[in-house]
Structure 1
Amino acid sequence: MLCALCGTRPAGTADARCGVCAVTAGSDRGRAWAGSTGVTPARPRLDHLRSPVGLAKAVCVLLGAAAVADVLAIAAGIHTRVLLADGLDGGFLVVDEEAWTRADHLYTAAGSLQALTFLATAVVFLVWLRRVRINAEVFDPYAHTLRPGWAIGGWFVPLGNLWLPYRVAKGVWTASAPVDTLGGRTAAPRGPLKAWWAVFVADQLVSRGTGRLSADAETGDEIVRGLDLVAANDALDLAAAVLAILFVRRLTGMQSRRADLGAFPAGPSALPAH
């Protein structure tokens, strides 16, 4: 059940208000609601805000580089796949050694480029995500179910990394939504966030299965099927990178506009200390 006033956060009081709306109405029940979620927000301070724009630009550039690396990997994989498929003769593999060496070097180089761009992108993305999470604590400390440290830590929890980072991002998205009135927000559909995360999770699951199948491939036909799966996985990588750019740009823009209004609630008042 969502708050009866703002309609964006879960209701946690007897009168169907969320913690923020209860506080802005002069009640201390909002603080009790925060305690029930396990998150005790600190007093928001505008001097804690730091612009995420520079980091967002760096993330988008690196995501673009990762997308290019994915395209090159797909092309190299298709070339290798065609070479192998054409070289299969009655179950035996007959491939020109020189052509195979070139294809193998190209495929290996594309994979190395993918790994390098992924590592660089992951590091800068995590720094950006932590930055927007800290900003979101200023905008609305009651919109989160996980503490700021989970913006990075959630990615390193086995299996949990398929869900925990989304919970962090969802809270940041809610807190960064534009404010129209005291205790209210304009609509901020989570389409970019949901689309990116759905493709990202699919990519991770396919990647784990593809790695096992490729490692067990022995015959020429099995190797060709493995290359098909790797190409499909690379295509998911490419889609995830493009959707991540849209997500990063949208959320950064929301925070930039939100910062112009100051801490929640809108206006000169701030949440009381507790």
Structure 2
Amino acid sequence: MLCSTCRLRPPVTADGRCLLCAGPAGAAAPMPPAPAFFAPQQYLRSPEGLAKAVVVLLAVVAVADVLAVAAGLNTRRVLAAGLANDFATYDEAAVTFADDLYAAASSLQTLTYLATGVVFVIWFRRVRLNAEVFDPSMQSMRPGWAVGAWFVPIGNLVLPRRIAGGIWTASAQTNTDGSRRTVPATVMNLWWGAWVCSQIISQYTARRYWGAGQPQEILDTTGLLVATDAFDIVAAVLAVLFVRKLTRMQGERAALGVYPLSAPGPTERAHWGRAH
């Protein structure tokens, strides 16, 4: 049997409403035993420290992308100058510098992407575990998928967004009076759309680049690389907005102290405070 209003949670009042739909008046109602699929109550842990680290690393990623754009434009300029006179005049020093500059920018991108990816996944797992405390009924996948979903071929274009949606909903579900509220998911959708597009475009551009043999083909694919790096900058900015927004939402939700399964005790709220 589910709540007569939201049809999501077990009822706790005589008229068949859950804790959130009943508001403060329903807080004193006895809670029925939790269904077997509900995870046991866990401690809340603040994601703010991890969020700050992710934001800083994303900023470094954006800087690396800017350098890659500059290096790509320089490479394209050198190639275009050679093609203009059919390489009658060949500036070997300029070509060598362009290659070295682009290789250095690519290496920096790889390092920053890896570091950011690791810290982001740790932050993502942290907010997923908090969502399990806020409202486990909104989580369609187990907490371990907050990490594993990113490593599933093809599935990593869909599954993390599904998990993020559950986290978002659970983190923005109550007002101070216990009533339901909805936060527009525009930032999350823009971030996810940009990330997926970035992955697809990067794969396509890399294949085109490594398959290019003629000078004109190399020139064209270099332009694609520049456009891809520029799009990555946009994706990084949207990721920053998403991380900051979701982290702030969880802080606000933790401060309310309204939970579907049981009211948080002083230990849980203190644990969040110490994690700051």
TM-score by length of 2: 0.83
Match of 1:156 among 151, 158, 161: 151
Q: CA offset at residue 197 of structure 1?
A: 0.4
Distance 1:41 1:28 in 2: 18
Cα 1:85–1:25 shift into 2, 3 Å: farther
Distance 1:103 1:57 in 2: 35
Provide the identity percentage: 50
Q: After superposition, what is the alpha-carbon deviation per residue over 1:180-229, rounded to whole angstroms, capped at 9, x for unaligned?
A: 26763223000110000001111111111111110110111100111111
Contact 1:83 1:95 in 2 (8 A): no
Say if 2:51 is the partner of 1:56.
Answer: yes
Moved more, 257-266 or 79-88: 257-266
Match of 1:41 among 34, 38, 41: 38
Distance 1:100 1:151 in 2: 44
Say if 2:1 is the partner of 1:18.
Answer: no
Match of 1:208 among 203, 208, 212: 203
Cα 1:208–1:178 shift into 2, 3 Å: same
Say if 2:217 is the partner of 1:222.
Answer: yes
Say if 2:93 is the partner of 1:104.
Answer: no
**Counterpart amino acid of residue 50 in structure 1:** R
Distance 2:11 2:65 in 1: 48
Say if 2:155 is the partner of 1:143.
Answer: no
Distance 1:162 1:140 in 2: 25
In structure 2, the partner of 1:171 is 166
Q: CA offset at residue 51 of structure 1?
A: 0.6
Q: CA offset at residue 144 of structure 1?
A: 1.2
Moved more, 53-62 or 88-97: 88-97
Cα 1:28–1:259 shift into 2, 3 Å: closer
Cα 1:24–1:90 shift into 2, 3 Å: farther
Distance 1:151 1:268 in 2: 25
Contact 2:176 2:256 in 1 (8 A): no
Contact 1:203 1:237 in 2 (8 A): yes
Distance 1:250 1:93 in 2: 55
Match of 1:236 among 206, 231, 234: 231
Gap regions ≥5 residues in structure 2:
20-33, 266-276
Q: CA offset at residue 268 of structure 1?
A: 4.0
Distance 1:185 1:93 in 2: 71
Q: After superposition, what is the alpha-carbon deviation per residue over 1:57-100, rounded to whole angstroms, capped at 9, x for unaligned?
A: 00000000000000000011011101101110465585300011
3-state SS in 2 of match to 1:169: helix
**Counterpart amino acid of residue 130 in structure 2:** N
Say if 2:237 is the partner of 1:248.
Answer: no
TM-score by length of 1: 0.83
In structure 2, the partner of 1:121 is 116
In structure 1, the partner of 2:180 is 185
Q: CA offset at residue 233 of structure 1?
A: 1.0
**Counterpart amino acid of residue 8 in structure 2:** G
Q: After superposition, what is the alpha-carbon deviation per residue over 1:106-163, rounded to whole angstroms, capped at 9, x for unaligned?
A: 1000000000000000000000000000000000111111111111100111100000
Cα 1:166–1:127 shift into 2, 3 Å: same
Gap regions ≥5 residues in structure 1:
1-11
